[in-house]
């Protein structure tokens, strides 16, 4: 099985490789990418059976990588592996075409279960994600909507960082953006969510369980 791991933390990549090698042994070939550019380079020059993708990368959102894959390699399954709770990104990732979503707090056995289910059924739906999907279906049936569903992937990412206390400069450094660009995203966030301050934004994200 040919697997591409896309994560900007070497420690995480090595941990995943250790688990995969231990469980899959000789039937495995793994490539590593730490950014959007390196991931796209490998995807353009190699064939893979599965991508293990982090949501947060230094130069871009992992969801941008997911969107590219689904546009250019629609049949390639992508398992999101993230430090963020499922409440925050799982539904958005599934809508973009991810085959599953797994928290980095999960046990190694959960990773292997997810991979086997994706190989067999094309999808891995955890009990938590199943509940989120059911709740979303219920909301649609009652014709309700959430303002944060109007946010782009980048706006959602920056909103979460602001709500967690990061400054514009810290966000700019993390995402390789200018402070001016970050502030532009903040302005859009406040407008779309119909709020006025970072305090209101944090309250909104907490209320809707977009951060924990």
Domain harbouring 174, CATH code: 1.10.10.10
Q: What is the pLDDT of residue 142?
A: 43
Together in a domain, 158 and 116: no
Answer whether residue 122 is part of any domain: yes
Residue 81, SS3? strand
79: in domain: yes
Predicted confidence at residue 137, as pLDDT, reads 57
Range of the domain at 172: 147-207
Are 158 and 74 contained in the same domain? Answer: no
- Whether residues 153 and 186 share a domain: the answer is yes
Same domain, 177 and 79: no
Report pTM: 0.68
Residue 160 belongs to a domain: yes
Verify that 123 and 27 share a domain, yes or no: yes
Domain count, the chain: 2
Cα angle for residues 62, 153, 189 (degrees, 5° grid): 140
Place of tokens 């206390």: 165
131 & 164 share domain = no
Q: Is 83 helix (H, G, I), strand (E, B) or coil?
A: coil
Last residue of a domain, one of 93, 119, 138: 138
In a domain, 8, yes or no: yes
User: How high is the mean pLDDT in each 10-residue block of the chain (212 residues)?
Assistant: 94 94 85 92 94 85 87 92 78 86 90 93 81 61 62 89 92 92 91 87 87 79
Which pLDDT value is given to residue 7?
A: 94
| Sign of CA pseudo-dihedral 49, 96, 154, 196 | negative
Position 212 in a domain: no
Say which CATH number the domain at 70 has: 3.40.50.2300
Domain co-membership, 82 together with 99: yes
With b for 16 or more beta-carbon neighbours within 10 A and e for fewer, the 103-113 pattern comes to: beeeeeeebeb
- The confidence score (pLDDT) of residue 121 equals 87
Domain final position from 90, 109, 138: 138
- At 191, is the secondary structure helix, strand, or coil? helix
pLDDT at 111: 94
């Amino acid at each position: 099985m040919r697997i591409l791991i896309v994560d900007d933390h070497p420690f995480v990549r090595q941990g995943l490789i250790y688990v995969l090698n231990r469980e899959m042994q000789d039937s495995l070939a793994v490539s590593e990418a730490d950014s959007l550019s390196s991931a796209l380079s490998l995807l353009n020059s190699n064939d893979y059976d599965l991508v293990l993708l982090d949501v947060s990368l230094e130069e871009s959102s992992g969801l941008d990588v997911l969107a590219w894959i689904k546009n250019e390699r629609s049949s390639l399954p992508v398992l999101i592996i993230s430090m963020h709770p499922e409440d925050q990104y799982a539904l958005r990732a599934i809508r973009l075409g991810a085959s599953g979503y797994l928290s980095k707090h999960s046990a190694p056995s959960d990773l292997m279960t997810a991979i086997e289910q994706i190989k067999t059924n094309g999808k891995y739906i955890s009990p938590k994600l199943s509940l989120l999907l059911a709740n979303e279906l219920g909301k649609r049936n009652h014709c309700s909507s959430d303002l944060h569903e109007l946010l782009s992937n980048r706006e959602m990412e920056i909103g979460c960082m602001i709500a967690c206390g990061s400054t514009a400069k810290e966000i700019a450094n993390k995402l390789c953006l200018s402070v001016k660009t970050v502030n532009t995203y903040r302005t859009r966030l406040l407008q779309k969510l119909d709020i006025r301050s970072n305090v209101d934004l944090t309250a909104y994200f907490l209320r809707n369980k977009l951060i924990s």
